[in-house]
Amino acid sequence: MMSRVQFLAAVLALTFACTADAKEALEEVRDEFLSAYDLALQGSAVGATDSEQLRAYPLYSYLQAARIGQQFDQPGAVPPEADAQTATFLAQFSDEPV
């Protein structure tokens, strides 16, 4: 039978292991976000496919805004889908600081 101290030690060890894994996963998606954001600001995000983790990242809406904004900053005509993307974005995030 496991003593109370052994049980608590096991729970703490598991908690620290899960926390380390979560921190590593967050760092990975943060790096993915920063790379994608840099590409968006350069106007190089055409056809980008985002991972599920990136789409769940708290700052993902800023990446979307950067990508939409770049469509309007490009020389020539604005792509027809840019207006629809903007309308969808504004409807979804109208109460957000982004």
For 19-58, how does the pLDDT look when each residue is reduced to its tens digit (9 = 90+)? 767 778 888 999 999 999 999 988 876 666 899 999 999 9
- Cα distances (Å, whole numbers) of residue 71 to 28, 57, 59, 84, 94: 27, 22, 20, 12, 20
Q: Which amino acid is at 15?
A: T
Query: With 90 as the cut, is the pLDDT of residue 63 above it?
Result: yes
Query: With 90 as the cut, is the pLDDT of residue 3 above it?
Result: no
Q: Percentage of residues in the chain with pLDDT exceeding 90?
A: 33
How many Cβ atoms sit within 10 Å of the Cβ of residue 71?
17
Say what the pLDDT of residue 1 is.
52
